[in-house]
Amino acid sequence: MAHKLNKDRVYRAAKSKDKDYTINDGGGLYLLIKANGSKLWQFVYTIEGKRKKLALGIYPNITLEASRRRVQPQFKAVVTEGTPKRFIFCQNCVHL
């Protein structure tokens, strides 16, 4: 994970803009802020040169701490094995 981690207030204060944008939390964890105001946690990783995304849930239903806990094993799996372990995630998580 990143050395300088964002605080929860950074994500709470994020406002929607004309286009979707992301805030990087490090280690492949992003908060996607949609133009309609919704906020979604995503784990972004690359396998064989292809960028992939794994949805972790909606913020604030899934807290910053919970999203970091969920992504940590995924990050390790991508680094060591080259693929995320999808079975670790809850049933609310969706592959994008």
Per-residue pLDDT of the chain (96 residues; tens, 9 = 90+): 445 667 888 899 999 999 999 999 888 899 999 999 999 999 888 777 888 888 889 999 999 888 888 887 776 776 666 666 553 444 444 444
Closest CA to 48 of 12, 28, 69, 78: 78
CATH 3.30.2130.10 fits 8-88, yes or no: no
- pTM score of the predicted model: 0.74
